[in-house]
Amino acid sequence: METAPVQTPAMVRWFLLGVALWASVVWPAEVQGQSVRATVLSIGDGDTIRVRQAGRALTVRLACIDAPETAQSPWGQQARRYLQQRLPIGREVTLEVKTTDRYGRTVAEVISDINLNLVMVEDGQAFAYRQYLGGCNAKKYLDAEVRTSRHRYGVWQVEGGITRPWDFRRSPRGRSISDGTTPGGRRYRCSEIGSYDRAQELLRQGHSYLDGNGDGEACDSLR
């Protein structure tokens, strides 16, 4: 009869040390309150970008704000174009990391020469995300939104502002969007996507699991 190997205190300590070291390699940026440098790889939508940080690709969800969904035409497309202009590919930025969300995305304020998250609100391309202002300077974001609404910039060109993204996502139409950022959003397999270009589009939308080796590109097998 075989017996289980004896685990000595030293073996346990080495195992725990190995786990800790592995975690530090896999998640160096997802430490609340940490500031890290990164390079912009692509823009997914008005509040999601891809960056390269410490040699790996990360999906970053802009903290403190909520931009219109792509399906909220034309506002979602305008927010994405605005962020593309502000954050061209290759731009060096600082990430003020807040947390990691349930989709595995780094949630951070993105700082170039200015705070891009705050500017998105100031220029009417996003709303202050009231439900998730913890860790942010809530007064700055809320004050910026009040000023912007008075000037009728961007999403405030509609009286009272367009449907808030968080309300849109709860609507029947919003719940049907499979973009990887909504509850119940589906996960794709490379074999079913069909083309390399489509895989990159899904990656920009937040489907970071498609970039299995962290090189910033999805589904290399589809090349």
CB 189 within 8 A of CB 183: no
Number of H helices, E strands in the chain: 8, 7
The tokens describing 191, both together, are 């074999």
Neighbours of 161 (CB within 10 A): 17
Strand bridging mode 35-45 / 92-100 = antiparallel
Catalytic residue check, 61: yes
Residues paired with residue 38 on neighbouring β-strands, in sequence order: 93
Closest of 29, 50, 52 to residue 39, by C-alpha: 52
| Concatenated DSSP letters of 127-170 | EE-GGG-TTS-HHHHHHHHHHHHHHT-GGGGSTT-SPPHHHHHH
User: What letter would DSSP give residue 28?
Assistant: S
| Active-site residue identified among 69, 109, 122, 217 | 69
End-to-end Cα spacing for the chain: 52
Catalytic residue check, 69: yes
Catalytic residue check, 175: no
- Please tell me the distance from the alpha carbon of residue 93 to that of residue 135, in angstroms, as a whole number: 19
| Active-site residue identified among 50, 80, 86, 105 | 105
Q: Catalytic residues, which ones?
A: 61, 69, 105
